[in-house]
Amino acid sequence: MYQKEFPAGSYVIRENEVGAHLFVSAEGDFEIMQDGKVLGRMGPGKAFGELAILYNCKRTASIKVVNDFKVWVLDRRIFQLIMVRTGLQRLEDNISFLRSVLLLENLSTDLLAKIADALEVEFYPAGVHILRQGTRGDTFFIISNMNMRVTQRIPGKCCLISNLN
Ligand code: CMP
């Protein structure tokens, strides 16, 4: 990223123009405007200009500087490079995690990559149920990092409990 300064009253972004940069405000305030109306005012530490970069669309709003303004600028090309690299790194991490799962050890790397691509991480606080006996199953879980208890209600018997690490 590099720093840029804008004088009061100038525009950092103009609505409907093509976007090539993402910004993070460092000093000063700015207004977000759409169709000439002010939607809000913000100060330092805010990221903006991400929509046109992420979704390859025209700028959805104008950003007008209220008082002398300093921003950090990131070029679209660098932003996209970072997104691609972090995406690839996440995929590699997921594949190597899946390789450590006994049930999947015989699958090819291609197949593991497809599963890794579809994986979603979910966090569960202590004490909650991940799934309940008798409910419809439409999700396959792989434990990454926790201890859990599996219980089963068997008619006429007490609860069966086992602990998994
Ligand atoms: P982008 O469309 O690239 O350029 C204008 C930016 O203004 C946009 O990305 C968002 O970062 C920001 N923006 C658009 N609409 C709003 C809104 N309603 N509230 C806050 N920020 C917005």
Express each pLDDT in 109-130 by its tens digit: 999 999 999 999 899 999 999 9
Q: Are 43 and 64 in contact (CB under 8 A)?
A: no
What's the whole-number mean pLDDT along residues 13-25?
Answer: 97
What's the whole-number mean pLDDT along residues 84-104?
Answer: 93
> Would the pLDDT of 163 be above 90?
no
For residue 53, which atom of ligand 1 is closest to its CA? 3
Ligand 1 atom 18, closest CA: 39
Instruction: Enter the CATH code of domain 2-76.
Output: 2.60.120.10
Q: Which residue stretches of the chain are H helix?
A: 50-55, 76-99, 109-118
* The dihedral sign for the CA sequence 12, 18, 20, 21: positive
Ligand 1 atom 14, closest CA: 61
CA of residue 85 to ligand 1 center, whole Å: 25
In this prediction, residue 41 carries a pLDDT of 97
Phi-psi region of 94 (alpha: psi -120 to 50; beta: other; left: phi over 0): alpha
Confidence of residue 36 (pLDDT cuts 50, 70, 90): very high
Pocket flag, ligand 1, residue 51 (CB < 6 Å): yes
> Would the pLDDT of 161 be above 90?
no
What's the whole-number mean pLDDT along residues 1-25?
Answer: 97
- Mean pLDDT, all residues of the chain: 93
What's the whole-number mean pLDDT along residues 23-36?
Answer: 97
> Would the pLDDT of 21 be above 90?
yes
Please give the structure tokens belonging to residue 84. Answer: 């691609």
Please give the structure tokens belonging to residue 95. Answer: 């594949």
DSSP 58: B
